[in-house]
A and B are shown apart, each in its own frame.
Chain A
Amino acid sequence: MLRSSHTAVVERNIWWEGEWSTEPYEAAWATRAVAFVRVLERRNIAVDATLRVQISPDGIHWCDEGNVLNVSADKDISFARVSQFGGWLRLTGVLGPEQGLKVVVYLALQG
């Protein structure tokens, strides 16, 4: 049996400003995921920004999973690997008042 896989574009061409979370993605079928962030534009970004991986039992209540995705200050693509995440995934992070990152966020899922 071939492994199942699916790439979900959970955010596209959207500005991450201030406190921000990606939309919840339900993927209980998957056993592991690679979260990718592609940066399209930057505003006042001098150092890497951090998105925390969060998991949830129901898509409503969230906690930190422990992994972080460091969004590079100068590279186009950054990623983080996650496994054993249960049923739901999202990324969350905070930027400073004048900062912004225009991003595409992917979840490359395998199960």
Chain B
Amino acid sequence: MINPALSKFDPLSRIIYYDDFDTGLNGWTALIGNYEESLDSILPGFRDLRPPMLSSSAFWDTGSAGSCDGTYAMKLATRPQAGSLSVGIKRMTYRHKGPLRLEAYFTFKPEAEKLRLSDTDAGSIGFLFDLQDDTHRVMPHLRYLNAHDGQRVQRWQFKQERVAIRDIGATGETVSHFHLSDEGWEDVPDGNQRLCYNEIATKQNWHYLRIGFDLDTMAFTEFQCNDRAFDVSGIAPMVMPAMPNLWCMLNAAFWSQAGSDRRTLLHVDSVVLSGEF
């Protein structure tokens, strides 16, 4: 029997979660940087990550579009400031060190407050895992850089470069590192991809995303967007020594980043994380 909602996904043998956002945010929540005693101790880049919301994609000219599957999607909306980030994160732990597959349908747009094409005003959208085994914290990062400084880029990038880990507060128990900074991104080999932006800012098309990562080898196994499967042999995650209190961590996060002083809106619906165990 075909399940119409799941049929557009190709999960591995066990589904860890399947979130379609029609009954809530399903554990996808706002990200905040680590702090001690005062919120002022948060690293600057982590202080104002905008929270997720449930959106029916209500546009000023055509009304509600609904989501890819049902009425609501998870929306990540930046502030109308270049560089502003919005992040939705779901926090799990893993029970088996084996293959993972993250699948999602997504669409992104600049806010439609101007009556022009605006395709170079949406900055970037991205996805990361945040994982830890007995020895290492491993953070695979991928983003689609749509535009930079008003210029069309349309290229997938990954990030393995680490930034310095900073002490937060005075107890020595809390650290932080701003891994979402705009620096250190490298191009995915042959990673240019023209996604369907459509012809005005209120017409959105949904795209398929698949990211495979193996918790045993801590390496990418696959990466696909729509009809393009990319060679993952040349891409690597961020790796650092294991940290206290993060054992068996299996976090997943999506984000959007404004490319100009306009809001960038990322919609995600649905998300399936599956594993082989």
Contact = CB atoms under 8 A, between A and B. Distances in A.
Given A4-B23, A6-B24, A28 B56 contact: yes
Contacts of A23: 50, 77, 79
25 contacts: A4-B24, A6-B24, A6-B25, A6-B54, A10-B51, A12-B47, A12-B48, A13-B39, A13-B40, A13-B47, A25-B53, A27-B53, A27-B54, A28-B56, A29-B54, A29-B72, A57-B58, A57-B60, A58-B60, A58-B112, A60-B111, A60-B112, A61-B60, A87-B56, A87-B58
A51 B113 CA distance: 24
A44 B116 CA distance: 43
A87 B58 CA distance: 8
Given A26-B75, A87-B58, A60 B113 contact: yes
Contacts of A60: 60, 111-113
A73 B47 CA distance: 26
Nearest to B52: A8
A24 B53 CA distance: 10
Contacts of A28: 56, 58, 64
Contacts of A8: 51, 53
Contacts, number: 56
Interface of A: 4, 6, 8-10, 12-14, 23-29, 40, 57-61, 87-88
Given A4-B24, A59-B58, A60-B113, 10 more contacts: A9-B30, A12-B39, A12-B48, A23-B77, A24-B77, A25-B53, A26-B77, A29-B54, A29-B72, A60-B112
Nearest to A61: B60
A79 to B, nearest CB: 19
A10 to B, nearest CB: 7
Contacts of A27: 53-54
Main SS of chain B's interface residues? loop
Nearest to B22: A29
Contacts of B64: 28
Interface string B104-144: 00000001110000000000000000000000000000000
B253 to A, nearest CB: 17
A61 B60 CA distance: 9
Interface string B30-65: 101000000110000001101101111011100010
A57 B112 CA distance: 13
A59 B39 contact: no
